[in-house]
């Protein structure tokens, strides 16, 4: 049977859009489905979140031809500071990752809305790529030879392979009967953007308070994205504050080192959890991004994990096609072996970091401070952790290489 497409992707978030670009550019006839018609609904300004693009993810964006479009929106990370915080006070025993001696930046921060804008523009202009927007998926089935999806409009599409990029509540993952292992942290995050009178110098900060991490992510200009993780009750209370009281609480937490603050966008809150799919593949189905894994934002690696999935899957499928193999067949096991272990290890690491730094037992708090200070003074340890944060360790697929 001749299929309509080589690959069908469900989900046009950052990971799904990146997969659509990577696979269509690799020569696969690709279809991208999403319930939202972003071509006609315009760019949403209601999402204040920002993402860290690790060095290897920046390599991928260049290889996809997006460097010039992204460059005006990227704030390079010039330094990272990790330390314990108490309202109005930061421990003097902190860890700095000074990136000045690196040949390439460790990473950069970009607002999600800007990243989506660039990716959406690119897929609209891409060859070998068909968009089915504003048409949610209603059914999914497979045979030994092909997979079929049915849209709510009744349109039927077939392909040797379907890719689930449809988020933590993935329709396709559930339809395939793939179970997940999950942990609710009883934490939530508040995200917003502030402008300030003093420059941030490209310094990203991660401060640990009793309820959870408090991240300051530098943006282009004198602006910073804040990710305040705390217990759900505390986040609910913070979201209920008016702007003046909320801003006062922010200033109380990280002091005045950035000068006077002004809210520069809406507030958003969302619950935090750990979620890992028990399998990344099923018959003629592959999971990528949040459909496969959701981790605590403590290390800022969620999107990078998804982009590594895309790069690895693109390499596996290209190799299968080059040798005449069925791209939706047994070769999918190679993708799972490549990515599942790495993602689960990172999930465990973020889980343990969150547990470690949310524990306020006094002896443990002192040991944490000493540990951060020790890494700060050890060149080898610094270089290792910077390489890990940059995504440069392990077996990298071609799309991630410089």
- Residue linked to tokens 């009744």: 154
Q: Are 79 and 201 contacting, i.e. CB atoms less than 8 angstroms apart? A: yes
Q: What angle do CA 292, 147, 343 make, to 5 degrees?
A: 15
Q: Which domains does the chain have, with CATH numbers?
A: 7-72+112-181+273-358 (3.50.50.60), 74-109+185-272 (3.30.9.10)
CB atoms closer than 10 angstroms to residue 387: 15
Q: What is the pLDDT of residue 85?
A: 61
Contact (CB, 8 A) for 185 and 234: no
> What is the strand order of the sheet 156-159 is part of?
137-142, 147-151, 156-159
> Rounded to an integer, what distance in angstroms lies between the CA atom of residue 92 and that of residue 86?
12
* Greater pLDDT, 324 or 393: 324
Gap between the Cα atoms of 177 and 163, Å rounded? 15
Q: How confident is the model at residue 99 (pLDDT cuts 50, 70, 90)?
A: low
Higher pLDDT, 41 or 137: 137
Contact by Cβ (8 Å): 108, 74: yes
Least Cα distance to 233 among 277, 270, 187 occurs for: 187
pLDDT value of residue 91: 53
- Residue 373 class from Cβ within 10 Å (0-12 exposed, 13-18 middle, 19+ buried)? middle
pLDDT of residue 87: 46
Instruction: Write out the two tokens for 225.
Output: 């994205």
Q: State how far the alpha carbon of 287 is from the alpha carbons of 78, 112, 313, 327, 401, in Å.
A: 34, 22, 10, 14, 23
Give the residue among 230, 43, 193, 178 at the shortest CA–CA distance from 118: 43
298-324 in b/e form (b: 16+ CB < 10 A) is bbbbbbbbbbbbbbbbbbbbbebbeee
- Measured between alpha carbons, how far is 253 from 162 in angstroms, rounded to an integer? 46
Type and span of the H or E element at 272: strand 268-277
**pLDDT score of 391:** 67
301-356 per-position pLDDT tens digit: 899 999 999 999 999 999 999 999 999 999 999 999 999 998 998 888 777 766 66
Q: Does residue 386 register a pLDDT over 70?
A: no
Task: With a cut of 50, say whether residue 361 has pLDDT above it.
Answer: no
Distances (CA, A) of 320 to 21, 70, 313, 314, 351: 19, 31, 10, 10, 35
Q: What is the pLDDT of residue 328?
A: 96
pLDDT class for 123, splitting at 50, 70, 90?
very high
Model pLDDT for residues 221-261, shown as the tens digit of each residue: 999 999 999 999 999 999 999 999 999 998 888 778 899 99
195 vs 193: CA distance, rounded Å: 7
Per residue in 43-93, pLDDT tens? Answer: 555 788 999 999 999 999 999 999 999 999 999 998 888 777 654 445 555
Classify 139 as helix, strand or coil. strand
The pLDDT-based confidence of 269 (bands split at 50, 70, 90) is very high
φ, ψ dihedrals at 287, nearest 5°:
-100, 140
Q: CB-based contacts of 93: which residues, under 8 Å, 6+ apart? A: 83, 84, 369, 370, 372, 373
CA angle 364, 213, 45 (to 5 degrees): 175
Residue 85 bridge partners (DSSP): 90
Q: Which are the contacts of 292, defined by CB distance < 8 A and separation ≥ 6? A: 164, 173, 276, 277, 280, 309, 339, 340, 343
pLDDT at 346: 83
Q: What is the pLDDT of residues 138-196, one digit of tens each?
A: 999 999 999 999 999 999 999 999 999 999 999 999 999 999 999 998 899 999 999 99
Predicted local distance difference test score (pLDDT) of residue 69:
98
């Amino acid at each position: 049977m001749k299929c309509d497409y080589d690959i069908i992707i469900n989900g046009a978030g950052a990971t799904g859009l990146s997969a659509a670009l990577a696979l269509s550019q690799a020569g696969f006839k690709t279809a991208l489905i999403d319930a939202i018609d972003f071509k006609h609904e315009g760019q949403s300004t209601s999402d204040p979140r920002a993402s860290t693009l690790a060095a290897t993810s920046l390599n991928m964006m260049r290889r996809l031809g997006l460097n010039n479009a992204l460059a005006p929106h990227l704030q390079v990370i010039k330094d990272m500071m990790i330390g314990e915080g108490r309202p109005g006070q930061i421990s003097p025993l902190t860890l700095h990752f000074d990136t000045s001696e690196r040949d390439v930046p460790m990473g950069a921060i970009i607002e999600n809305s800007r990243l989506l804008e660039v990716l959406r523009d690119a897929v609209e202009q891409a060859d070998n790529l068909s968009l089915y927007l504003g048409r949610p998926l209603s059914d999914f089935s497979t045979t030994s030879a092909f997979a079929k999806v049915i849209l709510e409009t009744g349109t039927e599409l077939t392909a040797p392979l379907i890719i689930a990029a449809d988020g933590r509540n993935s329709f396709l993952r559930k339809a395939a009967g793939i179970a997940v292992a999950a942990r609710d942290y009883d934490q939530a995050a508040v995200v917003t953007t502030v402008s300030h009178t003093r420059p941030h110098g490209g310094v990203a900060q991660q401060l640990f308070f009793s309820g959870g991490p408090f991240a300051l992510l530098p943006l282009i200009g004198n602006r910073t994205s804040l990710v305040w993780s705390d217990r759900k009750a505390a986040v609910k209370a913070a979201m209920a504050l008016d702007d003046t009281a909320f801003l006062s609480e922010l200033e109380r937490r990280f002091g005045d080192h950035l000068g006077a603050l002004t809210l520069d966008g809406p507030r958003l809150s969302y619950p935090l959890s750990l979620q890992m799919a028990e399998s990344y593949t099923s018959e003629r189905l592959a999971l990528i991004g949040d459909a496969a894994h959701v981790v605590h934002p403590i290390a800022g690696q969620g999107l990078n994990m998804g982009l590594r999935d895309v790069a690895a899957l693109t390499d596996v499928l290209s190799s299968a096609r080059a040798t005449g193999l069925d791209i939706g067949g047994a070769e999918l096991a190679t993708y799972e072996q490549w990515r599942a272990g790495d993602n689960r290890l990172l999930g465990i690491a973020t889980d343990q970091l969150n547990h470690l730094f949310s524990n306020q037992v006094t002896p443990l708090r002192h040991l944490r401070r000493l540990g951060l200070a020790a890494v700060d003074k050890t060149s080898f340890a610094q270089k290792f952790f910077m390489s890990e944060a940059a995504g440069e360790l392990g077996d990298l697929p071609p799309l991630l290489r410089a």
